[in-house]
Amino acid sequence: MNTKSLLPKLMAAVMTLSLLAGCQSGTKPAETASAAPEETASAEPEQTVDVSSVEINVGVLKGPTGIGAIKLMDDSENGVYPNYHFTLTPEPTDIVARLSNGDLDIGALPTNVAANLYNKTSGGVQVIAVNTLGVLYVLENGNGVQTVEDLKGRTIYCNGKGANPEFTVNYILKQHGLTPGEDVTVEFGEPSEIAARMISGEIELCMLPVPVVTTIMMKNPDVRMALNMTKEFSDAAGDGSNLTMGCLAARKEFIEQNPEAVAAFLENYAASIDEVLADVDASAELVAKYEITGNAAIAKKAIPDASIVCITGAELKPALNGYLQVLFDADPASVGGAMPGDDFYYVPAAE
């Protein structure tokens, strides 16, 4: 056979094979491209819950723990959050009862009351946010108290015997080497009675919460804020613990059924606090509107001293556990007979 006649045929065959190989390799990206949408579609997350459709019943206390919620309450009333339903009450016992029977999903409570409810319900409630640090201040008719040590030999009038104020003042005194009842006389009474005696100048020292201290200072300009017990507690503890007096507690069942709605609520609640602190004048009007304090003038002066915060997630236990330990050490019954477990502190799965 003539090899010259074969050469063109062989070259043609090679070119044909090359072209075929090129087409085959070219089909792979096309196949991959066509498969990609199917893979992407199968990897898409399930549709998220419409959190605006979840009805949330919230109990708010009058006083400092209610201040942070007022913008959220007002937005709810004006239709921004029609699924949020607020109940305002002066008594923690009312919120405890309603959380226990399911009438409320979330409630503002003193932190030790939330711990009590956790123990009482065998872990049926969780704290989802600390909303208030310390609101206790030592006031003085005079200028003799600059430090805790200056309380030695003095008499101080307080409210809250057998409750948070007594445990707090006793702890701070002891941490400074002062024995309550010996080095410092602590007398207990009703806030309104103590306030009246401070305003009149009958007594020289008291420890009371905002906004009562605000009212006293407005009515008697000679009264001064001698000690901020939030700062004194942190300094005395020395371990990062805070005087964490108020929180938001929620039913565990509600949280488990509606984690997205709870997360959205906490975001909105934190935004409400930011707005309250950013515009004190407007916030004071809302505080008065919802009767959380006596009037807007008192609210305006009280808000900066109300220690409103929004501590959530992994920061909850470090912020709160030390304070609850102080209460437990003073009287185990104050937190329900036992320190709450780690599941008391709600930390979203994402954290």
Residue 293 pLDDT level (bands cut at 50, 70, 90): confident
The mean pLDDT value of the chain amounts to 88
- The mean per-residue pLDDT over the stretch 16-31 comes to 34
Q: Is 326 or 22 the better-scoring residue by pLDDT?
A: 326
CA–CA separation, 85 vs 154, rounded Å?
Answer: 47
CA–CA separation, 136 vs 226, rounded Å?
Answer: 11
Domains and CATH numbers, the chain: 51-133+244-335 (3.40.190.10), 136-237 (3.40.190.10)
> With left for phi above 0 and alpha for psi between -120 and 50, is residue 244 left, alpha or beta?
beta
CA–CA separation, 3 vs 6, rounded Å?
Answer: 5
Residue 259 and residue 127 in contact, taking contact as beta carbons nearer than 8 Å: no
CA–CA separation, 223 vs 200, rounded Å?
Answer: 10
Checking if the pLDDT of 337 tops 80, the result is yes
Residue 48 pLDDT level (bands cut at 50, 70, 90): low
Q: Which two tokens stand for residue 135?
A: 């609101």
> With left for phi above 0 and alpha for psi between -120 and 50, is residue 10 left, alpha or beta?
alpha
CA 144 vs CA 102, 136, 148, 190, 224: distances in Å: 50, 19, 11, 24, 11
CA–CA separation, 338 vs 163, rounded Å?
Answer: 16
At residue 4, the pLDDT reads 38
Checking if the pLDDT of 36 tops 50, the result is no
Rounded (5°) CA angle 126-131-135? 125
CA 193 vs CA 159, 161, 202: distances in Å: 10, 14, 11
> Which helix (DSSP H) or strand (DSSP E) does residue 249 occupy?
strand 246-251
Query: Which residues, at least 6 apart from 285, have a Cβ–Cβ distance to it below 8 Å?
Result: 296, 299
At residue 69, the pLDDT reads 95
List, for residues 253-290, the tens digit of each pLDDT value: 999 999 999 999 999 999 999 999 999 999 999 999 99
